[in-house]
Structure 1
């Protein structure tokens, strides 16, 4: 039986319209992970900042140490892990958050066992922090929350940035350890309007600045950290008579180390502390 031409044309037009509409149909939305485990101090804190209740199942033990974590109190509410592959696999995660610094054997074994592991690079610049917040939010299916936090961070950072004052600051910790160019610490000093002595001396990344060079440079501000429990020969250098004499005539700031370790919204507190100390 033949179809009437007008009915056939209507059917053909409908079929064509449906084909053209296919690209407009919404894509299937991936379900957000529900059993997230973090292995790294920096991913720990970003995840705690952004995760929905019950979504994050474990963070690393370092996240509960107030000397290195700005979210130590929150971290104590989670099971803590030591980052071993067997330990993590037993938690049955559907997403593992790691750093590019996480032990290679752990990442390799978890992936061999079929666990999704995402490695996030640590922030080296202040301008890396907002994208890192958005990246973590996307992984957790919390884009709206991440966007709000990232925008607030960017706005406050813009308000805090200062013009260069011509004053010099030196980070000098146990053993003479310091941070040169291409580090988050360098970026904090620059945002506070100060010149980083280590970078001026040609150091890039972390390294050591001899006490003799520190004393000869006569910086306007010296930043150090409180000694850790126990004793070490590296910390004896912080009590050297030459440094004590220099500190007597130089502004100093005792670092809250946790504010400087990871690229987080709380990094802005470090900038404020340095700005306040640099104007004394």
Structure 2
């Protein structure tokens, strides 16, 4: 019935106001349908302004803000359910289901799409952009100032850096020119992807990883159960690397959030603890 109603509304044309003009009133009913916008909005939104986040925000395998997310009704990113919440703003990611975004826009609901952060510069810009969209510029500027202060106090990068590599399901490795790559570099490691000619990331054969023998392997955290894609993470060859260290890739650096500095600081501490 709801789907039929939406189809009728689409045929009739937009029924709600389009994008809000600059300088207009801040949105009062905000729905987020993307994990990364969920968490950034939870950090910046005014009390009562954010009315729903995606179900991924409440999943500890994906989110770093599960406890905060449990205070909000969860959505599955479906146009029907979002429409019935009567939002005046929907936050989405660049790769959020395009059918949902398209339908909401055709219904006249304002949708703002945030690209994924591929560098710390992108993370900084994302904070400011979210602050503007929510009408919370002062809060976002304060967040950015705190972020920059922590960034400036990271331990200095040593002249001689150990090598680190990422290794996830299906043998995927992040590139040296990625957010993960910059985190690794800021933590004082040299990213193996730079040596292997993988600036944008891609498939890293286990054999190539073993032959490179990095000092640290940052592996994906396997999901419960059995998955052929994750079998490679349990291969005994990983444990046999002479570096002898493996840490789990955590949710802190999945999205462009201040929490990525927690991951950077932990990696820097791991490096310092391994130093002779």
Task: With the length of structure 2 as denominator, give the TM-score of the two structures.
Answer: 0.86
Q: Alpha-carbon deviations, 1:222-268, whole Å to 9, x = none?
A: 11133211101222222223222226x52221232x11200100000
Contact map agreement 2:57 2:66 (CA 8 A) in 1: yes
Residue in 2 aligned with 1:194?
Answer: 189
- Give the 5 Å matches for 1:22-171: 29-160=23-154, 162-164=156-158, 165-171=160-166
Residue in 1 aligned with 2:5?
Answer: none
Q: Distance in 2 between matches of 1:254 and 1:182?
A: 20
**CA distance change for structure 1 residues 80 and 251 in 2, over 3 Å: closer, same or farther?**
same
Task: With the length of structure 1 as denominator, give the TM-score of the two structures.
Answer: 0.85
Contact map agreement 1:252 1:277 (CA 8 A) in 2: no
Alpha-carbon deviation of 1:139?
0.9
Alpha-carbon deviation of 1:205?
2.7
Q: Distance in 1 between matches of 2:140 and 2:38?
A: 15
Q: Which runs of 5+ in 2 are unaligned?
A: 1-21
Q: CA RMSD in A?
A: 1.6
Residue in 1 aligned with 2:216?
Answer: 221
Q: Which runs of 5+ in 1 are unaligned?
A: 1-27
Contact map agreement 2:214 2:241 (CA 8 A) in 1: no
Q: How many residues align?
A: 251
Residue in 2 aligned with 1:235?
Answer: 230
More displaced stretch, 158-167 vs 181-190: 158-167
Work out whether 1:277 is the aligned partner of 2:270.
yes
Q: Distance in 2 between matches of 1:236 and 1:108?
A: 37
Max Rg structure: 1
> SS of the counterpart of 1:250?
coil
Extract structure 1 runs of 4+ deviating beyond 3 A.
Answer: none
Q: Distance in 2 between matches of 1:215 and 1:223?
A: 14
Alpha-carbon deviation of 1:166?
2.6
More displaced stretch, 267-276 vs 224-233: 224-233
Residue in 2 aligned with 1:10?
Answer: none
Residue in 2 aligned with 1:185?
Answer: 180
Q: Distance in 2 between matches of 1:265 and 1:177?
A: 25
Q: Distance in 2 between matches of 1:104 and 1:224?
A: 31
Residue in 1 aligned with 2:18?
Answer: none
Q: Distance in 2 between matches of 1:226 and 1:49?
A: 25
Q: Distance in 2 between matches of 1:238 and 1:117?
A: 38
Residue in 2 aligned with 1:262?
Answer: 255
Alpha-carbon deviation of 1:161?
5.8
> SS of the counterpart of 1:271?
helix
Contact map agreement 2:193 2:201 (CA 8 A) in 1: no
> SS of the counterpart of 1:274?
helix
Q: Distance in 2 between matches of 1:278 and 1:106?
A: 44
Q: Alpha-carbon deviations, 1:68-102, whole Å to 9, x = none?
A: 11111111111111111111111110001111111
| Among candidates 241, 245, 256, match of residue 251 of structure 1 | 245
